[in-house]
Amino acid sequence: MDLIADRLKNLPTYLFMHLRSKIKQIEATGADCISLAIGDPVEPTPAYIIETLQEAVLDPDNHQYPTDEQKGMLAFRNAVSRWYGRKYGVKLDPETEVLTLGGSKEGIHHFMMAVINPGDTILITNPGYPGYRANILLAGGQAHELPLLEKNRFLPQLEEIPEDVCRRAKAFFLNYPNNPTGACADKDFFTRLVDWAHRHRILLVHDNPYSELVFPGCDRLSLLQIPGARDISVEFNSLSKYYNMTGWRIGMAVGNSGIIQAMCKFKENVTSGVFNAIQLASIRAMDEGDADIENMLAVYHRRREMVLQACDRMRIPVNAGMGTFYLWLPVPDGFSSIAFAEKLIDDACVLVTAGTAYGKHGEGYFRLSLTVTDDRLQEALDRMKNSIV
């Protein structure tokens, strides 16, 4: 008897599960492995958020099924509306245009299952977050990849998409500030994107969990700021990266009420929502945590400068993106992405992500995460230098 469903047979192992397994294998040998491959902040969640969670956990009213199970607590959705209004000037109806998620990753799957039919074409970028392609496969859709090239500032060239592809496409998944490249889009690009999507009747799905993590000279943006975007778009965001809450699994989908309703209908059949106590703590994070975002951004800016200076000493030319806590760096001459990543493991016990893990257009690059302490980052950079020189 075949115990595995056909939908899983062509599904690759999730990249970050593979990386975590690799780290465990190395550490099992007793080696001191420094991982710069996964974007998981080492700094703790701010104390006042934890204290709010502790208080909420002790309240028996929060021990039952979550309030407004699928949509999320109205108080949380109101907080999301306030947050988007304060941050981006975007007014959201918390009743119809906001959906609570167990992290933005959950939203990717819910959108695919709620909106995509088998055979539908979905546009994605290459390189790009592997979760998009995997969920397209699970929904029975067809992915059409658009290259992100350094010469184009890692932005898709909308005018180069063939007309027959535009006619077939139902949705376009994109993500700025971008993982893995760190590239940022501006309002001009988003305006052209929304106009293009309207003309071709294509839904836009903007995965935006790094919207607050941009460096000086770059604007913090929501796609929903663009006139007409709300008619055809949904945006995912998350508290994971801004407030060091990756393990809490809390985020939101916002935008077109029809898409939100469809996602909610799917969600109500597969999950019972996010624990009330986590939602209540997250409300306080959104209402009171602006200073924490600025503090962490200063930390990442400092670490980013450490890496850029080290690259200069190693004579690695870098055209660094202005967003996220990743750096998308060219591999030294003579190496493929995988060969260089393997060399760093073997010679320096430093783990980075080969660019090809995000698609064929990632060849020639590797991704480095800034989510380790300063001293561990410096140690990793010193090891890398010794390995390369």
Q: Is 234 a residue whose pLDDT tops 60?
A: yes
User: Long-range contacts: 380-385, Cβ < 8 Å, 24+?
Assistant: 380/34, 380/36, 380/348, 380/350, 381/306, 381/307, 381/310, 383/34, 383/344, 383/347, 383/348, 383/349, 383/350, 384/310, 384/314, 384/344, 384/348, 384/350, 385/310, 385/313, 385/314
How far is residue 313's CA from residue 385's CA, in Å, rounded to a whole number? 8
Q: Is 371 a residue whose pLDDT tops 60?
A: yes
For residues 187-215, average pLDDT: 98
Beta 233-238 vs 34-35: how paired, if at all? unpaired
Beta 203-207 vs 169-174: how paired, if at all? parallel
For residues 153-170, average pLDDT: 98
Q: Which residues of 316-328 are buried (b: 16+ CB within 10 A; e: fewer)?
A: beeebbbbbbbbb
Tell me the percentage of the chain whose pLDDT exceeds 90.
89
pLDDT of the residue at 30: 76
pLDDT of the residue at 19: 61
Q: Which alpha helices (H) appear in 214-349, and where do they start and end? A: 257-267, 276-288, 290-313, 337-348
Q: How many CA atoms lie within 13 A of 227 on its CB side?
A: 0
For residues 182-189, average pLDDT: 98
Q: Which residues of 5-43 are buried (b: 16+ CB within 10 A; e: fewer)?
A: eeeeeeeeeebbeebeeebeebeeeeeebbbbbbbbbee
For residues 101-106, average pLDDT: 94
What are 366's strand-pairing partners? 329, 354
Q: How confident is the model at residue 10 (pLDDT cuts 50, 70, 90)?
A: confident
For residues 249-273, average pLDDT: 96
Q: Is 197 a residue whose pLDDT tops 80?
A: yes
For residues 180-206, average pLDDT: 98
Q: Is 380 a residue whose pLDDT tops 90?
A: yes
Q: Is 327 a residue whose pLDDT tops 60?
A: yes
More confident: 30 or 107: 107
How far is residue 240's CA from residue 210's CA, in Å, rounded to a whole number? 9
For residues 351-378, average pLDDT: 97
Q: Is 11 a residue whose pLDDT tops 90?
A: no
Would the pTM count as exceeding 0.75? yes
Cross-sheet strand order for the sheet of 121-126: 98-101, 251-255, 233-238, 203-207, 169-174, 121-126, 142-147
Q: Is 18 a residue whose pLDDT tops 70?
A: no
List domains and CATH numbers for the chain: 6-45+291-388 (3.90.1150.10), 51-288 (3.40.640.10)
Q: Is 123 a residue whose pLDDT tops 80?
A: yes
Q: Is 14 a residue whose pLDDT tops 60?
A: no
How far is residue 250's CA from residue 280's CA, in Å, rounded to a whole number? 11
pLDDT of the residue at 16: 56
Is the CB of residue 230 less than 8 Å from the CB of residue 198? no
Mean pLDDT score of the chain, rounded to an integer?
95
Q: What are the phi and psi torsion angles at 58 (to 5°)? A: -75, -10
Tell me the percentage of the chain whose pLDDT exceeds 70.
97
Beta 233-238 vs 251-255: how paired, if at all? antiparallel
Q: How confident is the model at residue 388 (pLDDT cuts 50, 70, 90)?
A: confident
Distant-in-sequence, close-in-space partners of 112: CB < 8 Å, separation ≥ 6? 122, 135, 136, 138, 139, 141
User: Long-range contacts: 314-322, Cβ < 8 Å, 24+?
Assistant: 314/384, 314/385, 314/388, 314/389, 319/150, 320/182, 321/154, 321/177, 321/178, 321/181, 321/182, 321/183, 321/184, 322/177, 322/182, 322/183, 322/184, 322/214, 322/215, 322/217, 322/218
Q: Is 154 a residue whose pLDDT tops 90?
A: yes
Q: DSSP state, 349?
A: -
How far is residue 374's CA from residue 376's CA, in Å, rounded to a whole number? 6
